[in-house]
Amino acid sequence: MSGTKVCIACVEENKLCECHHENPVKELGLSHEASENSSVLHSVINMVGMLIGLGQLSMPYAVESGGWISIFLLISLGVLTTYTSHILGNCLRRNPKSKSYSDIGYSAFGRHGHLLASLFIYLEIFMALVSYTISLHDNIAAAFPATFTNLHNGSFPAAKLTAVAVAIALPSLWIRNLSSISFLSSGGILMSAVIFMSVVYTAVFGGVLDDGRIPVLRLRNIPTVSGVYLFGFGGHIVFPNLYTSMKDPSKFTKVSIVSFATVTALYTALAITGAKMFGPNINPQVTLSLPKHLLVTKIALWATVLTPMTKYALEFAPLAIQLERSLPLTMSDRTKLVTRGLVGSTLLLVILALALTVPYFGYVLSLTGSLVSVTIAVILPCAFYVKICRDGMSKFTRAANVVFVVFGCVLGVLGSFDSSKLLVNKLVRVHGN
């Protein structure tokens, strides 16, 4: 999409603007001409950065829950989501006017497809922010006592510390400059790298005894485990933006293969290392299982605390852009900024309250993966592809994609049911006492 001025009505109707309104608004972000400058290497770095996040924290826990054979499920889902990333690129090539995930939904199924895609995009944003805040709460509760053992007799109110951290991150939701938001996201990538290296260092030099008493397979846990795995591969809502930013979009498939192979290898290495080290004692967040006396553990804990604080603005950006598009054209930029900031701040405070009420990271992550990530990363891409590219598609390809849709639906339903059941049981046990 070009950087020329467009009107809200045409943006919402997914068509080029030829209205010449007196009060147009400029499309947020860089112009299409200026933004098509990402090399293959740059695109790979961006895609890897989009995928790696909270998911890596729970990979060892998922292996312990599902058994060693579940590693093959992790790799298989990595391959499947690589394929669905590839077919999203095919959908974009078939309809060059599509620039976003919701645009692809519109191309496939009209307004209903656009609405469905948008619904799951915002649901993923909301649930991801809840997961980030729970992670912030859990790790800041461990980071402060580990770092400041002499203060307050080692007693720290985790809820208050979390509220302070969220308050510090709150101003980032008022940032309107997309370049500044991207700068914050690069900090999140750095924090993810620090966490991974901390676990590897602990495995090699930390003196942790091998506690790998993990069964070969726990079949009853596979639905919830698949949700955790899928959460780590669910970056598809931003892949269309990555596609349109490339110098040569025909290399998008190559970018997807390299990126997902890198991320899958990292997840697999982290899962095996963490599960082998801590066995049945592994925490849903591997950073909380690291020996508290080690300096590297303190670094990992603070890196995990900082990760959500760098992600809030980036996760909120799609909702903020849609919000600004829906505001009256007569509204001043200052009023739009205030509206955006107030809505974002209110949303984050609601998320904070929910995260403090339901601070069960593993269950929430599994539910998010089973309910949202599988839809975003598997079901919808395959359904969109069958509809948009049906002309010339072989019977085998069509059948395979229908099978993937059914497979995704089965995983989603079973995983959502089991995760919800576990979460409700946990809440009843805790609040019932």
Contact (Cβ atoms closer than 8 angstroms) between residue 228 and residue 62:
yes
The answer on pLDDT for 157 being more than 50 is yes
The answer on pLDDT for 71 being more than 50 is yes
Give the chain's mean pLDDT: 83
Q: CA nearest 136: which of 98, 99, 163, 114?
A: 163
pLDDT band at 418 (very low <50, low <70, confident <90, very high): very high
Contact (Cβ atoms closer than 8 angstroms) between residue 394 and residue 157:
no
The answer on pLDDT for 63 being more than 90 is yes
- Single-letter code of the amino acid located at 208: V
The answer on pLDDT for 15 being more than 60 is no
Residue 376's SS3 state is helix
Could you write out the DSSP letters of every residue in 341-370?
HHHHHHHHHHHHHHHHHS--HHHHHHHHII
Contact (Cβ atoms closer than 8 angstroms) between residue 217 and residue 67:
yes
Between 74 and 208, the more confident residue is 74
The answer on pLDDT for 399 being more than 50 is yes
For residue 179, the model assigns a pLDDT of 57
- Residue 35's contacts (CB-CB under 8 Å, 6 or more residues apart) are 29, 244, 245
Percent of the chain topping pLDDT 90: 37
pLDDT band at 178 (very low <50, low <70, confident <90, very high): low
The answer on pLDDT for 293 being more than 60 is yes
The answer on pLDDT for 51 being more than 90 is no
Q: CA nearest 362: which of 405, 311, 315, 423?
A: 423
**What are 138's two structure tokens?**
């859990």
For residue 4, the model assigns a pLDDT of 37
Q: How many CB atoms lie within 10 A of CB 54?
A: 23
Residue 306's SS3 state is helix
Average pLDDT over residues 340-352: 86
Between 109 and 147, the more confident residue is 109
Average pLDDT over residues 368-384: 96
Sequence-distant contacts of 171-180: CB under 8 A, at least 24 apart: 172/309, 172/312, 172/313, 173/312, 173/313, 173/316, 173/320, 173/340, 173/341, 173/344, 173/345, 173/348, 174/337, 174/340, 174/341, 174/344, 174/345, 175/313, 176/337, 176/340, 178/28, 178/29, 178/30, 178/317
- Single-letter code of the amino acid located at 136: L
**What are 119's two structure tokens?**
């619904």
28 vs 6, 13, 323, 381, 419, CA distance in Å? 10, 17, 12, 25, 38
**What are 309's two structure tokens?**
């604080």
Q: How far is residue 169's CA from residue 134's CA, in Å, rounded to a whole number?
A: 15
* Pick from 65-74, 78-87, 198-207, 368-377: least confident: 198-207
Contact (Cβ atoms closer than 8 angstroms) between residue 100 and residue 241:
yes
The answer on pLDDT for 26 being more than 60 is no
pLDDT tens across 237-283, in order?
889 888 988 888 999 999 999 999 999 999 999 999 888 888 888 89
Contact (Cβ atoms closer than 8 angstroms) between residue 38 and residue 245:
yes
The answer on pLDDT for 230 being more than 90 is yes
Residue 38's SS3 state is strand
For residue 294, the model assigns a pLDDT of 86
pLDDT tens across 133-153, in order?
999 989 888 887 755 555 545
Between 122 and 325, the more confident residue is 122
pLDDT tens across 185-205, in order?
677 778 888 888 888 888 888
pTM above 0.85, yes or no: no
Q: How far is residue 94's CA from residue 236's CA, in Å, rounded to a whole number?
A: 18
Average pLDDT over residues 173-184: 63
The answer on pLDDT for 182 being more than 70 is no
The answer on pLDDT for 35 being more than 60 is no
Could you write out the DSSP letters of every residue in 224-282?
HHHHHHHHTT--GGGHHHHHHTBS-GGGHHHHHHHHHHHHHHHHHHHHHHHHHHHGGG-
For residue 244, the model assigns a pLDDT of 86
Domains of the chain: residue spans and CATH: 40-427 (1.20.1730.10)
pLDDT band at 403 (very low <50, low <70, confident <90, very high): very high
H/E segment holding residue 305 = helix 295-326
H/E segment holding residue 180 = helix 178-205
**What are 69's two structure tokens?**
């054979």
pLDDT band at 377 (very low <50, low <70, confident <90, very high): very high
Burial class (CB in 10 A: 0-12, 13-18, 19+), 43: buried
